[in-house]
Structure 1
Amino acid sequence: MKLKYRGKTKDVYELEDGNYLLKFKDDVTGENGVFDPGANTVGLQIEGAGKAGLRLTKHFFEILREKGIPTHYVEADLDKAEMIVKSATIFGEGLEVICRYKATGSFIRRYGKYATEGQDLNGFVEITLKDDERQDPPISADALDLLGILSLEEYKELKALTRQISDVVKIELQKKGIVLYDIKLEFGRTQSGEIMLIDEISGGNMRAYKEGSYIEPLELEKQMIES
């Protein structure tokens, strides 16, 4: 097992069979000790966050597999906080795809002159470049195509997959009385060029509320899995 990359919330190892192992950590993104799924720095450690994130990720990836939606998921070991995934190539140096159902976070910081907190956004999809130095700038479909990162046809496919996957998560949360405000997803290509969901689906990459109150990542996992 060869270490390939130390990430903010996961370490990545290459396995002999060509698959990869993701080791989930208790680090979560945020600023000044406050969790923020849209932040590009590690803000704090939450004991148990790694296993909780994997537990929820496993839950959602297995639902997506049942629905025939392509992902990199192979299997997970909850006790070890490890997940085995298929090999994938990323777009450029990485993209983050955000599906927004209600306005909050960076959307309000950018567009607060026109938008209000909690405003309905109807599953608005935006893409940002993974670029810590430039604060993960948003990028348009035309710019992605122009820069050779993602073709216009691939953008359409990516946007449709994002809405499909996000709606699955939204509906699952609704079953527990939880409202999804936004979710951050990542995608890559299979060896044959098919677009598939990669990374994770956990409380660490979404904002969810219940009865108007924000639900912390660990509490979200408890409400979704244990209740």
Structure 2
Amino acid sequence: MVRLDENEISFPDPELYDGHDGLIAFGGDLSVERLWFAYQLGIFPWFNPGEEILWWSPDPRFVLFPKEIKVSKSMRKILNRNVFSFSENQNFREVIKNCQQASRNGQTGTWLSDELMESFIKLHEYGLAKSIEVWKEGILVGGFYGLQIGNVFCGESMFAKVSNASKAGFIHFAETYKDTIELIDCQSHTEHLESLGATMIPKKEFLKILHENNERR
């Protein structure tokens, strides 16, 4: 594992370096510049607030190809009944705040520190991060956010205050962009996203898609 220099924005090549369980570096900072560079390389931060910053590029990688989204009959009925409405980039700050505060199975705290949250908000202001909002009767009940890198969307976190809200938002997003977004990076496995069609692919395959996408931009 490599220690990063706070004064130099660089990372070990994730294609050549395989750390334990995908952990390839620690240290550095959470500046907008470093975050944007990291995600273009297929690297993301994940750590407990107050501890050293940890940088990951796991193998295999958990992803979803939008054209392969799976929608159950019950979810299709909910979507057809227009139980929820959806928007983009209408309230990024509230979406990320709700993601920070959402309780997770097996977690006692949040990995999304205030510093990291503010950096993502700046990335949003620069047009590099986007949010998807899910509404019910005019109230924000779910959503998620991530970074848009060409035709790859790097999903970060989601929340739901009512049943099926985040799932409906994710399906809406995948179906809306199935012809323009090649891949949604889900990073690490969850049963929630697996039920929607997310699958594991080798890191080498993921990085190939990401690099080809970067070259086309």
User: Normalising by structure 1, what TM-score?
Assistant: 0.28
> RCO (CA 8 Å, sep 6+): is it higher in 1 or 2?
2
Compare the two structures and name the one with the higher helix fraction: 2
User: Normalising by structure 2, what TM-score?
Assistant: 0.28
